[in-house]
Amino acid sequence: MVVLSFQLVHSPPPINHRSGRRYGGEIRSRIAEPSGEPAPFGTKTKYKDGVLEKVFMTLFARKMEKFAGNGGGMKRKGWLEYDYESFVDVSRRVMQGRSRALQQQVVREVLLSMLPPGAPAQFRKLFPPTKWAAEFNAALTVPFFHWLVGPSEVVEVEVNGVKQRSGVHIKKCRYLENSGCVGMCINMCKFPTQDFFTNEFGLPLTMNPNFEDMSCDMVYGQVPPPFEGDPVSKQPCFADLCSMANPSSSVCTKLQA
């Protein structure tokens, strides 16, 4: 998410800031469900990914593979051989054997490696922490990260007493439903992304995953709470969905240091 947002600032697409729609091409994996909507909780939504989507999966996966275990001697996949499942598998291998802090550090290094030198400083100049910057990044999130998180929409939120359209409601996060892992959601997505926008780019971002239905609300412009003060720090595993779950623990073991 961070990478593509920065790459677009030099020639940003036309955006309708009220609707959050972008006119022109989009990086959009199509939902293959008959209803056209994400599948119910507990069932993985079927997607139909195109070439461009697989290119982005490959970019992220190959960067992360440098930090992953060998997966039992797995050979590195070629271009366009990665799909979403293999992308998630690389994330899972990065997670294994690392503490929560180290998992987040890996994601930070991966994100930095995908940016040109001086990118965070330039982002801060282009996007100071204003209402406009928050709304602009929310608008970009919807069309360009459908492939990563599934369908979403720009929504109105209140930040520091001001109503603005800098919220993004993700209907059912593709990353969470494919991994089925609370720890991966929190350690490999939520906190690294929040930290990168807030501390590297200077644009606060808070992400609030809902583990009841796998939706997620992103709020650009809102400073995130520390881990200890965030309700997700007490979240238990998805005992029936995660292969790494410990049903006897009241809190996901991947969140315990």
Is 29 in contact with 75 (CB distance < 8 Å)?
no
Which pLDDT belongs to residue 30? 86
C-alpha gyration radius of the chain: 18
Query: Above 60 in pLDDT, residue 163?
Result: yes
Burial category of 86 from C-beta neighbours within 10 Å (exposed 0-12, middle 13-18, buried 19 and up): middle
**Where is pLDDT greater, at 200 or 82?**
200
Which pLDDT belongs to residue 101? 93
Q: 223-251, pLDDT tens digit by residue? A: 999 999 999 999 999 988 888 888 888 99
Q: Determine the average pLDDT of the residues in 94-116.
A: 92
Taking the model in full, what pTM does it have? 0.86
**Where is pLDDT greater, at 22 or 227?**
227
Q: How many CB atoms lie within 10 A of CB 220?
A: 28
Q: 166-187, pLDDT tens digit by residue? A: 999 999 999 999 999 999 999 9
Which pLDDT belongs to residue 70? 62
Q: 186-196, pLDDT tens digit by residue? A: 999 999 999 99
